[in-house]
Amino acid sequence: MKKQTSNPDNCPQWGCWVRVALVLGAWVLLGAGQVLAQKPKDRVPSQADLAWEQLSNWRTPPLPPDEWKSKAPAPVDVELLRKTHRAWAVEWSEAAADFHSRFADHPMSQAARMMELSARGWLAR
C-alpha cells in the first residue's frame, strides 16, 4: 500500500490553499508595511528627529552651473565653486558632529558620524 503525501495530485484543494495562504501572507506583509510607514498622528517628532531630518538633506554638494556642459568654465569660476564646496563641507561636517555629540543615543548617531567623516573627506580634496 502506498503512503499518501501532501501534494496537488493527492489533494485537489491543496493548490487552492497554497494560493489562499500566499494571498493572505502578502496582504498581511503589505498591510504591516503600510502601518509601519505611517507616522502616528499623535506623536510629535523629537528634537533629535527634526535635527536628523535637517541633517539628512545635506547629502549633495552644490552643483556646477549647466553652462559648464557646453562651455569650459573660467579658472575664476572653478575656484569660486571650490570655495563654495569647501564652505558646504565645513558646515555639513560641523552639523553632523553637533548631531552625533548632542544626540548620542539616537539610532542615527553613527550615521551622522559617518556623514562627518565623509564631509571631512570633501575638505581633504
For residue range 67-91, list pLDDT tens digits in order.
999 999 999 999 999 898 889 889 9
Task: Give the C-alpha distances (Å, rounded to integers) separating 33 from 39, 40, 44, 45, 51.
Answer: 12, 14, 21, 20, 25
- Confidence category of residue 99, pLDDT binned at 50, 70, 90: very high
- In tens, the pLDDT along 29-73 reads 555 444 445 555 556 778 888 888 888 887 677 889 899 999 999
How sure is the predictor about 19, in pLDDT bands with cuts at 50, 70 and 90? low
> How is the chain split into domains, by residue range?
1-38, 47-124
